[in-house]
């Protein structure tokens, strides 16, 4: 059984999926802008919602920090940039793959 965890590295704007300490996939992400930075810390995925509507794209993965999550986007050009209100944006196909791969309670580390 996989032992997944997610690391979001704000400095290189990438999300890394690890299994037992080994990186198995890496994705480009959009992160919080200066006024609404993505919060660093240790969190967990606490809920998943397909097609949440609005700007959240194909999937919402809610974090244990209320109002923050990993989600898709209706603006693919925002990936790789400092654009969000603190959430982590992914391409829709990437967040859908991630949502179907990792279970609830997967640890998420957000670091500078």
The 10s digit of each residue's pLDDT in 27-79 is 999 999 999 999 999 999 999 999 999 899 999 999 999 999 999 999 999 99
Q: Which of 67, 71, 85, 100 is catalytic?
A: 71
Using alpha carbons only, what angle is made at residue 104 by residues 12 and 31, rounded to the nearest 5 degrees?
Answer: 25
Which residue bears the tokens 């240790």? 42
**Domain count within the chain:** 1
Is residue 71 part of the annotated active site? The answer reads yes
pLDDT computed for residue 1 by the predictor: 86
pTM over 0.85: yes
Whole-angstrom Cα distance, residue 36 to residue 28?
19
- Give the CA dihedral 101, 105, 106, 110, nearest 10 degrees: 130
Read off the CATH number of the domain in which 94 is found.
2.40.440.10
Residues 63, 87: contact at Cβ < 8 Å?
no
Q: Could you tell me the pLDDT band of residue 15, with boundaries at 50, 70 and 90?
A: very high
* Structural domain harbouring 58: 4-110
Q: Could you tell me the pLDDT band of residue 104, with boundaries at 50, 70 and 90?
A: very high
């Amino acid at each position: 059984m996989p032992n997944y965890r997610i690391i979001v590295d704000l400095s290189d704007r990438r999300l890394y999926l690890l299994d037992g300490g080994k990186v198995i996939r890496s994705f480009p992400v959009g992160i919080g802008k200066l006024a609404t930075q993505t919060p660093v810390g240790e969190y967990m995925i606490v809920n998943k919602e397909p097609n949440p509507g609005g700007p959240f794209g194909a999937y919402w993965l809610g974090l244990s920090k209320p109002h923050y999550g990993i989600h898709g986007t209706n603006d693919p050009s925002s990936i790789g940039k400092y654009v969000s209100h603190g959430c982590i944006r992914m391409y829709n196909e990437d967040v859908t793959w991630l949502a179907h791969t990792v279970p609830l309670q997967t640890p998420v580390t957000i670091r500078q």
